[in-house]
Structure 1
């Protein structure tokens, strides 16, 4: 069975025990995480998710980004089916992303669009900014608008993120 942070009973009944309620109260998880956990339990009846572990979910417009561990162990065909089943259970588009380094997460979120670079700039005030450069021709392939992409990557990484679309002429210069 898929590993989730909440008790299975709490997720199914939507009545949380003290332990599960404290996970929400701490701010570590939101109600969306409970909904996604419930959907995962339903999908796990059809698809083997025994080695998969739920990490966290983020919602952008009508897209839910689900961070998970060990999804690479799911065969490709089953993974596509898994995303479809999860989307159906939640009633929204879902993109399942393997939890790893922030660069890996960014690459999976922008997919099928191609990335140019991901770099970190250190600012004079001591903070950092992660700059994600995407060729402007890839704009139509992005799953979400660049400004929303910037917001969701910032939310996931906890870092200041800037998404830049780079024109072809700028690449050659």
Structure 2
């Protein structure tokens, strides 16, 4: 298991002086530390979690964006039980993204399992750059993803203004 803090610290929920200084210097966030401890606790019960690589965790408005390795994301998406187990450890909703993702892949990961038809950069009057995301299907009140939260996460973590539209014409 790979986590942002020392494996020993994660398993014992106590930070060593080195990890403590990383936290104070801003190299680590409180969310990184909390997520590492939670993942280490779950690894005791779920052996597949022990193989995961958690690179980082960012908190945005009470929601948690977990940066995992590509193969770990595949494992989590294959098992609803594993996803629910991870979700139950956190106080807010979790979003699973690839650690080395570019902006396009980052947005696609946030919208998973919904299909993204296109992601384009558009210029609006005043010289402002926006990223237009076209989502497959149409928006309904039962749409599984809160597009406002996705837009907020992308703005906070990637500094991109996104406009989300649906294939069948309704803007959000």
| TM-score, normalised with respect to structure 1 | 0.73
- In structure 2, the partner of 1:137 is 138
- Which sections of structure 2, spanning at least 5 residues, go unmatched? none
- Which sections of structure 1, spanning at least 5 residues, go unmatched? none
| TM-score, normalised with respect to structure 2 | 0.74
Q: CA deviation at 1:138?
A: 3.3
SS in 1 for 2:135: strand
SS in 2 for 1:97: strand
| Contact residue 113 and residue 138 of structure 1 kept, 8 A | no
Aligned length: 167
- The 3 A distance-change label for structure 1 pair 64 and 163 is same
SS in 1 for 2:28: coil
How do 1:19-168 residues align onto structure 2 when only pairs under 5 Å count? Answer: 19-45=18-44, 46-61=46-61, 63-69=63-69, 70-72=71-73, 74=75, 77=78, 79-99=79-99, 100-121=101-122, 128-134=129-135, 137-138=138-139, 140-144=142-146, 146-157=147-158, 159-166=159-166, 168=168
- CA deviations on 1:59-88 (whole Å, 9 max, x unpaired) are 3455422110131563754x4332222122
- In structure 2, the partner of 1:8 is 7
- Bigger Cα displacement from structure 2, 31-40 vs 20-29: 20-29
